[in-house]
């Protein structure tokens, strides 16, 4: 398999989803971006790190680094690797924002963490480094087993893009907010209450997770992966385990795969229930918050009864799942699905007929399909703007290859559309759960992993409730103790935060909380 028109040799990686890897040159790096865009594909992730030697890479120059990118097409996932050699102490590579604007922040993060620079990039401001380390210190280039204590860098006044004109003024919001949400700064440029521009600055919750992953045993790192973004713990843990299982050529028992899907759909429902209540509340409809909070609480209690944890944290483990589903839980789970569906359908009718809600939802925060495609909007927000991508449908693996997921989409791209997609996905996930519980095959729920003598790589790709979670994993060989050389964990929020800046344009300031909640993006997931 190859990207049509790109003359490189791809090698297939062992994974339940179609993944191909290739080494490329700088010209091929640019050509690939052009071809993927022309053929209707999209950028999934971009990251950097120290290069490790694999069977396919016989030698890297001393001090070499690499920049990586993954693209998605209808044929699968393509993982490209561009080796970089320092020139005058600087590693550089061609900028990709000409084809994929979503690459901009990923490139800035790679520069902060690994010291690689996108040549020709218009925006080269720091993204994750808020003065926590010096500008010439690159955390991911340090020896994870002998980390130096970084010297703090100088605090620099971040150069927000100014907007000028008659009557224009700025409203700075955050990074500390009135509540328990995570920190992020939002700079509004407005005339009256109309928003002319919004610029975000995130990165305040950078935790060094990707460095910490390289300090953990591969069989234990799934626990940290599941804590990248707490509302997506199942999706992240599954993506990490999928990558590790691919790297070790491990086949997961069929029943374990079905149990993972059961947990993933329960996680999806819990997130959507919480968001639907919050969206109603942000439109001054407190009844919705009360009702959906009640439903969500009952739902997560059911998850605890079935799997021992309200969020099912640490329940997905390398090789399978931590525990089987007790037969005594089957009947209560099916009954809870029936009860929830009845309540959700009734509440949807109330939402659809409530004039006040519809007045706030319709046309608010609209992202037209053409703009969504150009900016790479993904996940449920993308599907609400006609971006019909869902890993469960496009590249189904066990058990989704048997379940025939009905993708929820909309074309209006406003708050109302994102609400509709959530309702549709709740109902579809309930259907899937019923099928999983009643059709799940018998058998073991875990298998042992066996590491190869050689270094290896693996990829994990799972459709979480926000969108696709991607994990790229590189393992060293037996002579280096099968350590994690690099583990990149990618959240769909990387793509969608920039689109939120466009969604608010032309709206009024009081609508921002509603628009923001309709996306409900993760700070933690992209502030690794």
Residue 126 falls inside a structural domain: no
Mean pLDDT, residues 225-245 taken together: 97
- DSSP letter at 525 equals G
Residues 6+ apart with CB under 8 A from 136: none
* Burial (CB count within 10 angstroms: exposed 0-12, middle 13-18, buried 19+), residue 504: buried
Q: How far apart are CA 99 and CA 37, in angstroms?
A: 7
Which one, of 71, 86, 79, 61, lies nearest residue 36 by Cα?
71
**Distance in angstroms (rounded) separating the CA atoms of residues 432 and 413:** 26
Mind listing the pLDDT tens digit for each residue in 198-214? 999 999 989 999 999 99
Strand partners, 456: 475
- CA 318 to centroid of chain Cα atoms: 20
Question: What is the tens place of the pLDDT at every residue in 183-198?
Answer: 999 999 999 999 999 9
Tell me: pLDDT of 54 over 70: no
Does the residue 320 lie in any domain? yes
CA distances to 6, 237, 315 from 390, rounded to whole Å, are 25, 18, 24
What order do you get walking across the sheet with 456-463 strand by strand? 456-463, 468-475, 484-490
488 within 8 A of 351, measured Cβ to Cβ: no
Percent of the chain with pLDDT over 70: 97
Are β-strands 65-73 and 42-50 bridged in parallel, bridged antiparallel, or unpaired?
Answer: antiparallel
Section 415-434 average pLDDT: 98
Q: Which of 73-82, 89-98, 473-482 has the lowest mean pLDDT?
A: 473-482
Model pLDDT for residues 245-296, shown as the tens digit of each residue:
999 999 999 999 999 999 999 999 999 999 999 999 999 999 999 999 999 9
What 3-state class would DSSP assign to 69?
strand
Alpha carbon distance 112, 124 (integer Å) = 10
Q: What is the Cα–Cα distance from 157 to 174, expressed in whole angstroms?
A: 15
Q: Which two tokens stand for residue 258?
A: 């079905």
CA atoms of 340 and 266, how far apart (whole Å):
12
3-state class (DSSP) for residue 420: helix
Contacts with 388 (C-beta within 8 Å, 6 or more apart), sequence order: 407, 409
Q: What is the pLDDT of residue 57?
A: 44
Q: Which of the pair, 454 or 438, is modelled with greater confidence?
A: 438
The number of residues making up the chain comes to 528
In this predicted structure, the answer to whether residue 457 has a pLDDT above a threshold of 70 is yes
Residue 384: name the closest of 518, 268, 265, 271 by CA: 518
The answer to whether residue 268 sits within a structural domain is: yes
* Distant-in-sequence, close-in-space partners of 177: CB < 8 Å, separation ≥ 6: 183, 184
In a domain, 458, yes or no: yes
Could you tell me if residue 293 is inside a domain? Answer: yes
Asked if pLDDT for residue 72 goes beyond 60, the answer is: yes
* String of DSSP letters for 215-251: TS-TTTTHHHHTTSSGGGHHHHHHHHHHHHHHHTTPP
Confidence of residue 55 (pLDDT cuts 50, 70, 90): very low
Q: Write out pLDDT tens, residues 288-337.
A: 999 999 999 999 999 999 999 999 999 999 999 999 999 999 999 999 99
Q: Residues of the chain with pLDDT > 90: what percent? A: 84
Range of the domain at 486: 209-526
The 3-state DSSP class for residue 287 equals: helix
Q: What's the number of domains the chain is made of?
A: 1
**pLDDT of 87:** 81
Decide if pLDDT at 60 tops 80: no
What pLDDT is attached to residue 59? 42
Instruction: Please give the Cα distance from 158 to 334 (Å, whole number).
Output: 53
Is residue 80 in some structural domain?
no
Read off the tokens for 98.
């000409």
pLDDT number for residue 161: 92
Report the alpha-carbon distance of residue 189 to residue 448 in Å, rounded: 56
Dihedral over Cα of 329, 465, 491, 10: its sign: positive
Return d(Cα 228, Cα 442) in angstroms, integer: 32
491 neighbors 469 (Cβ within 8 angstroms):
yes
CATH number of the domain bearing residue 236: 1.10.645.10
Are the CB atoms for 51 and 455 separated by under 8 Å?
A: no
- C-alpha distances in angstroms, 522 versus 35, 44, 279, 497? 30, 16, 16, 9
Tell me what the pLDDT averaged over the chain comes to.
Answer: 94
Q: What is the pLDDT of residue 56?
A: 42
Q: Is residue 71 part of a domain?
A: no
Residue 62 has pLDDT above 70, yes or no: no
- Asked, for residue 325, whether it belongs to a domain, the answer is yes
pLDDT for the residue numbered 39 = 95
């Amino acid at each position: 398999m190859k990207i049509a028109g790109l003359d490189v040799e791809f090698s297939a990686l062992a994974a339940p989803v179609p993944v191909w890897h290739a080494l490329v040159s700088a010209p091929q790096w640019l050509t690939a971006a052009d071809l993927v865009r022309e053929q209707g594909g999209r950028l999934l992730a971009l990251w950097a790190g120290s290069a490790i030697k694999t069977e396919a890479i016989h030698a890297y120059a001393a001090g070499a680094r690499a920049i990586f990118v993954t693209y998605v097409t209808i044929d699968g996932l393509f993982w490209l690797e561009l080796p970089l050699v320092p020139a005058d102490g600087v590693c550089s590579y061609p900028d990709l924002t000409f084809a994929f604007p979503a690459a901009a922040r990923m490139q800035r993060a790679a520069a902060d963490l690994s010291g690689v620079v996108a040549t020709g990039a218009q925006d080269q401001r720091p993204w994750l480094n808020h003065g926590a380390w010096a500008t010439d210190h690159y955390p991911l280039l340090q020896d994870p087993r002998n980390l130096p204590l970084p010297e703090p860098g100088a605090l620099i006044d971040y150069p927000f893009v100014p907007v000028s004109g008659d009557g224009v003024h700025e409203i700075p919001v955050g990074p500390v907010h009135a509540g328990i949400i995570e920190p992020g700064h939002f700079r509004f440029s407005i005339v009256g209450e109309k928003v002319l521009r919004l610029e975000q600055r995130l990165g305040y919750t950078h935790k060094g997770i990707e460095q910490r992953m390289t300090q953990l045993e591969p069989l234990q790192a799934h626990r940290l992966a599941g804590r990248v973004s707490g509302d997506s713990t199942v999706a992240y843990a599954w993506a990490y385990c999928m990558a590790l299982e691919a790297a070790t050529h491990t086949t997961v028992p069929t029943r374990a795969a079905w149990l993972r899907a059961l947990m993933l759909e329960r996680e999806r429902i819990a997130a959507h229930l919480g968001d639907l209540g919050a969206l109603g509340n942000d439109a001054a409809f407190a009844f919705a918050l009360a009702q959906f909070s009640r439903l969500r609480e009952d739902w997560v209690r059911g998850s605890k009864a079935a799997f021992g944890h309200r969020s099912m944290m640490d329940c997905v483990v390398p090789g399978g799942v931590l525990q089987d589903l007790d037969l005594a839980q089957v009947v209560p789970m099916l009954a809870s699905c029936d009860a929830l569906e009845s309540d959700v359908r009734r509440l949807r009718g109330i939402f659809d007929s409530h004039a006040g809600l519809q007045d706030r939802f319709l046309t608010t925060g609209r992202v037209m399909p053409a703009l969504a495609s150009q900016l790479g909007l993904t996940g449920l927000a993308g599907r609400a703007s006609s971006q019909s991508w869902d890993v469960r449908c496009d590249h189904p693996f066990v058990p989704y290859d048997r379940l025939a997921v009905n993708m929820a989409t909309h074309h209006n791209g406003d708050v109302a559309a994102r609400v509709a997609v959530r309702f549709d996905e709740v109902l579809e996930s309930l259907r899937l759960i019923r099928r999983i519980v009643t059709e799940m095959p018998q058998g073991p729920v875990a298998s042992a992993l066996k590491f190869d003598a050689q270094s290896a790589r693996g990829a994990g790709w799972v459709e979480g409730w926000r969108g696709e979670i991607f994990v790229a994993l590189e393992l060293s060989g037996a002579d280096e103790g099968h350590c994690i050389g690099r583990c990149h964990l990618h959240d769909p929020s990387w793509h969608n935060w920039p689109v939120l800046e466009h969604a608010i344009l032309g709206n009024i300031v009081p609508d921002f909380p509603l628009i923001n909640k309709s996306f409900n993006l993760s700070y933690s997931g992209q502030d690794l």
